[in-house]
Structure 1
Amino acid sequence: MIEVLVVDDDFRVAQIHAGFVELVPGFRVAGRAHTAADARAGAAGVDLVLLDVYLPDESGLSLLPDLDADVIMATAATDPRSVRTAFARGALHYLIKPFTAEELGERLQAYARYREHLAASAELGQADVDRAVRALHTVPRAERRAVKGQSSVTARLVAEALRRAGAPRSAAEISDEVGISRATAQRYLASLAQSGRVRVTLRYGSTGRPEHQYTWRTR
């Protein structure tokens, strides 16, 4: 399990990003921090830090070299200097807010592949290092499209959100949780229903118009 610290000055944004992380299999949120001081204390023992630039007590860019963990920037800072500084000081990726669960999920899965390549041997040759770097920055074609017109990352995020819910969910609820449009959520949920992994029922509201409800099949 890859342990992640989410660092953002806005507790609501930190909560959203933590929820995105928890949707990706193999990752667990070890904690959330809202200041640089808390991030320094909380980063001990974690594998990865999602780091904002704008923190109340110190810039995340000045904090970055002090963290004994891999770092993905997750920030609204869009100026070229911040981007260059982040990479120069060791950031592996730079995500500009707001981003979706799918966008973060792609980076996290690439990061997991990168770690797997580096852990494959006690001693690495140049080809091993090159493969690890490519894995970090590439979404393989087979993983990019599970079926025509669909992203396997989004499919996994939608499935995991529904599985974790443990109760019927509408497309609107899933779209809010995963960070995709309602139409996209409906498309992926319909695909899961066709595959037999999801059960579809109807719920009638006060207007009498039925709403589809999706439930993950446990068997």
Structure 2
Amino acid sequence: MSAASDDLVVLVVDDDFRVARLHAEYAARVPGVRVLEPVGTAAAARRAIAQHRPGLVLLDAYLPDESGLDLLRDIDADVFLLSAASDADTVRTALRRGALCYLIKPFAADALTDRIAAFQRFANVVPADPARTLDQEAIERGLRIVHSGDSPGGSRSRSATEQAVLDAVERADAELSAVDVAERVGVSRATAQRYLSGLAADGSIRVQLNYGSTGRPEHRYLPRG
């Protein structure tokens, strides 16, 4: 069965075969994405990019024959850097050399799928089309989408966990803490807190501070309405 001509073609570059397969599987979950056979070296990546012209490359920073950061500097492609490296110098170098996204391994599937879906929307707003011209508003919107999912209140797709967290807040008859949400959704407090922070940041829910007897403020979450 052939892929649609407008599918986003994704190439995974990682020398760990199991990790490469896992990231390829994550990417394939996104509708409208076709994933190429993963490759494990910079040389193989150069050949695959020249042959297939992928719309997005998921690149590891550590490759056996060349630094992924050096490869990033040389290739003409949109790239997400996926790396276990969390030092500021590596992150800054990746961003300076053109990485659109930096994900620290290991990460959950939705951390990658959400960003690929955002990249698809970015590509619609800022297409790789030399005949198109863009105004400043389109450029700013494209940057918002690729870096944060979309503008506040946008209709971006949500992961199942994020939607469950949002539903828990919206259906509650009182304000909730992160612990309350975690118990209702069936996730850890840290996971609930991460999604709650993101939903509050994009305006999907409201957050207020309550001061208890200890004097330390507690974040409480309410529906946007």
Deviation at residue 139 of structure 1 after TM alignment: 2.7
For residues 122 and 93 of structure 1, what CA distance do their matches in structure 2 show? 24
Show the counterpart of 1:6: 12
Change (3 A) 1:149 1:126: closer
Indicate how the Cα distance of structure 1 residues 81 and 122 shifts in structure 2: closer, same or farther if over 3 A, else same: same
Q: CA–CA distance in 2 between the matches of 1:33 and 1:150?
A: 40
SS of aligned partner of 2:81: strand
Q: 1:1-219 residue pairs with structure 2 within 5 A?
A: 1-44=7-50, 45-119=53-127, 122-140=132-150, 141=153, 142-143=155-156, 144=158, 146=163, 149=166
* Residue 42 (structure 1) shift: 1.0
Q: Give 3-state SS (helix, strand or coil) of 2:12's partner.
A: strand
One-letter code of the match for 1:109?
Answer: A
The answer on whether the counterparts of 1:31 and 1:42 sit within 8 Å (CA) in structure 2 is: no
Matches of 1:20 and 1:128, distance apart in 2: 29
SS at match of 1:33: coil
Listed one character per residue, the Cα deviations across residues 53-80 of structure 1 (whole Å, up to 9, x for unaligned) are 1111111001102212100001111111
- For 1:19, the aligned partner's letter is E
- Write out per-residue CA displacement over residues 131-175 of structure 1, whole angstroms, 9 at most, x where no aligned residue: 111111123444445465369xxxxxxxxxxxxxxxxxxxxxxxx
Superposition RMSD in Å: 2.3
Distance 2:167 2:29 in 1: 18
1:95 aligned counterpart, secondary structure: strand
The one-letter code of the counterpart of 1:51 is: L
The answer to which of 97-106 and 121-130 deviates more is 121-130
1:183-202 Cα offsets, whole Å, 9 max, x none, are: 56xxxxxxxxxxxxxxxxxx
CA distance in 1, matches of 2:18, 2:58: 15
CA distance in 2, matches of 1:15, 1:49: 14
Q: Distance in 1 between matches of 2:27 and 2:123?
A: 17
- The 1:149/1:128 distance shift into structure 2, 3 A limit, reads closer
Pair 1:84–1:148, CA change in 2 (3 A): closer
Q: Report the AA paired with residue 148 of structure 2.
A: T
- Secondary structure of 2:36's partner? strand
Give the TM-score of the pair, scaled to structure 1: 0.65
TM-score normalised to the size of structure 2? Answer: 0.63
Aligned equivalents of 1:9 and 1:150: distance in 2? 39
Preserved contact between residue 83 and residue 94 of structure 1 (Cα < 8 Å): yes
SS at match of 1:129: helix
Helix, strand or coil: the match of 2:65? coil
- Paired amino acid for 2:28: E
1:167 aligned residue: none
- Gapped runs of 5+ residues in structure 1? 152-182, 185-219
Q: Which residue of 1 aligns with 2:200?
A: none
Aligned length: 154
Q: CA deviation at 1:116?
A: 0.6
| Distance in 1, Cα, partners of 2:44 & 2:73 | 15
